[in-house]
Amino acid sequence: MIVMKFGGSSVESAAAITRVAGIVKARVGRRPVVVVSAMGKTTNRLLEIAALAKQNRIDDARQKAGELKTYHMVEARQLVADASAVEAIIDRHFAELDAMIQAIALLRDFPPSLIDAVSGLGERLSSQIVALAFDKLGMPSAHVDSRDVIHTDDRHTQAAPLYPESYAKLKAVVAPLAETKVVVMGGFIGSTLQGVPTTLGRGGSDFTASIVGAGIDAEEIQIWTDVDGMLTCDPRIVPGGHLIKTISFEEAAELAYFGAKVLHPATVLPAVEKNIPVLVLNSRRPEVQGTRIVSESVPCRNIIKSIACKPNITVMKIHSLRMLMAHGFLRRIFEIFDRFETPVDMLSTSEVSVSVTIDDARHVEELRTELEKFAEVEIEPQRALVCLVGDNIRGTAGVGVRIFRALQTVNVLMVSQGSSTLNFSFVIAAEDLKQAVQNLHAEFFADPDPEVFA
């Protein structure tokens, strides 16, 4: 069995879903289990509708919901033999959405539990539409509601899977169905053991695919997206990067965490535990070999495998009010970040100060208020974090020299190296990002290893 995950752009229209069906049909002998995201930008549109409801703009919310419903109707009718069946599914889901619009407007609030219920509607819809489309296109299918087999804790909007319970359900429900039919599931969504809907966080469909793959002991997990695979640099920052043919799980996770958008950072975790290869492939160009992510490190004559970046980060400089760092200073700082559920990407310390980077600045003022009770705080927005990833960077002499030679026209504001053997990270002004990545790419990929890069 294999798991095939298709993102929102891969299922955004009738034409795209037909293309997906062709890709799946070519692999039907491998007993595929298909995981799909919401169609196109549906999740964003659902959250926009909920935001209007929270402002008590019910008419506007219902108008947007009507537009979204029409979009699903128009595309779905082209895909199924029996239009009445798919229309009934769409009607039912949008009646549920309307009830949630009324509840949000009445509460004048959008609590996390309702966020999960609203934002997960797109995957519930798309998975049923895709399953019906597969039937019409000659592939007997079975739809499985992910909420019945992916169990999580109750941390709404960022739920953590309960692996033993989920694996048991997947093995009992999905694996037998996949012997005779193409199973179709929605990504991103799950439920608590009590049946309350949850979500795995934005981008969580990749995570779903990995959980499903681990649960059914798949031979391979395929992540189908709209790019050819993982590249040596972000094409939105600097075009012309090379395709990485093979990379280790550890390197892929570092790249994902530090800004590579191809893969959800948590995706690789269940796959690593079960030693299941993950492939990143392009649904618009299925003939391209893509990127294969494996458990073992991949020998490469280039010390750097890829350059990841986060373009919109904030640096917080926290300076102790005492001349020397007092006992418990770091503990107090990170207790505050924990309280506001704000993760730190990078950390640099001196005797009396700490600098951290965050990519979620929603609580920056609350953080400042709490920190200023015992420290001076300086906020620097409009920064960018650049991360060079490669096997054993720390153990290779001369890497730092080459990095700073490439950056000689760029002011480096903060550096982190040594916490991992796999990355060298630094912070620069956002306006310097393109130049920095351009220079680094020219330095480290002038002669790419053909065994690793295409």
Say which CATH number the domain at 326 has: 3.30.2130.10
The mean-pLDDT minimum among 86-95, 124-133, 393-402 falls in 393-402
Please name the residue that has the structure tokens 């990485």.
244
Do 105 and 212 belong together in one domain?
yes
Residue 312 has which token pair? 């919109």
Is 160 domain-assigned? yes
Task: Indicate if 34 and 144 belong to the same structural domain.
Answer: yes
Closest CA to 93 of 21, 166, 145, 157: 145
Asked if 302 and 245 touch (Cβ cutoff 8 Å), the reply is: no
The β-bridge partners of 414 are: 427
How far apart CA 145 and CA 22 sit, in angstroms, is 23
pLDDT tens column, 152-204: 999 999 999 999 999 999 999 999 999 999 999 999 999 999 999 999 986 78
Angle in degrees, CA 394, 399, 405, rounded to 5: 145
Check whether residue 320 and residue 194 sit in a common domain: no
86 occurs within a structural domain? yes
The reply to whether 295 falls in a domain is no
Report residue 324's pLDDT band, with 50, 70 and 90 as the boundaries: low
Q: How many domains does the chain have?
A: 2
pLDDT at 62 over 80: yes
Above 60 in pLDDT, residue 53? yes
pLDDT at 325 over 70: no
pLDDT at residue 233 above 70? yes
pLDDT for residue 323 is more than 60: no
- Residue 274 in any domain: the answer is no
What is the pTM assigned to this prediction?
0.86
CA distance 156 to 162: 14
For the sheet with 32-36, list strands across it.
141-144, 182-186, 32-36, 2-6, 220-225, 278-282, 291-294, 246-248
- Any idea of the CA torsion for 167, 173, 178, 184, to the nearest 10 degrees? -90
CATH of the domain at 73: 3.40.1160.10
**Rg for the chain (alpha carbons), in Å?**
23
Per residue in 204-224, pLDDT tens?
Answer: 899 999 999 999 999 999 999
The 10s digit of each residue's pLDDT in 268-277 is 889 888 999 9
128 in the same domain as 19 = yes
Domain final residue, candidates 174, 198, 226: 226
Return the pLDDT at 435: 96
Mean pLDDT across the chain, nearest whole number? 93
Q: Which pLDDT value is given to residue 55?
A: 95
CA distance 256 to 287: 24
User: Can you give the pLDDT at residue 295?
Assistant: 86
Tokens representing residue 203 in the block: 């981008």
Q: Which of 174, 203, 226 is the last residue of a domain?
A: 226
Q: Identify whether residues 57 and 203 lie together within a single domain.
A: yes
Query: Running DSSP on this structure, what letter comes out for residue 265?
Result: T
Sign, CA dihedral 49-51-53-57, equals: negative
Together in a domain, 205 and 100: yes
- Together in a domain, 50 and 193: yes
- The answer to whether position 451 is within a domain reads no
User: CA-to-CA distance for 199 and 39, rounded, in angstroms?
Assistant: 17
* 442 compared with 352, residue with greater pLDDT: 442
Q: Is the residue at 115 inside a domain?
A: yes
Are 34 and 168 in a shared domain? yes
Indicate if 221 and 326 belong to the same structural domain.
no
Residue 374 lies in a domain: yes
Q: Which residue has the tokens 């006992």?
A: 327
342-365 per-position pLDDT tens digit: 999 899 887 788 999 999 999 999
Q: Would you say 103 and 114 are in contact if contact means Cβ atoms under 8 Å apart? A: yes
The residue-averaged pLDDT of 311-323 equals 87
For residues 71 and 98, give the distance between their C-alpha atoms in angstroms, rounded to a whole number.
Answer: 16
Give the range of the structural domain holding residue 64, as residue numbers without chain letter: 2-226
Domain-terminating residue out of 226, 252, 276: 226
Instruction: Give yes or no: residues 40 and 160 share one domain.
Output: yes
CA distance 31 to 52: 43
| Burial label, 6 (beta-carbon count in 10 A; 0-12, 13-18, 19+) | buried
More confident residue, 182 or 398: 182
List the single range of 37-51, 99-113, 323-337 with lowest mean pLDDT.
323-337
Q: Residue 81: phi, psi to the nearest 5?
A: -75, -40
Q: Is 117 part of any domain?
A: yes
CA–CA distance, 202 with 151 (Å, rounded to integer) = 17
Residue with the bigger pLDDT between 124 and 310: it is 124
Q: For the residues 106-113, what does the mean pLDDT come to? A: 92
Give 72's Cβ-side CA count (13 Å radius).
Answer: 31
Same domain as 17, residue 161: yes
Is residue 188 domain-shared with residue 332, that is, in the same domain? Answer: no
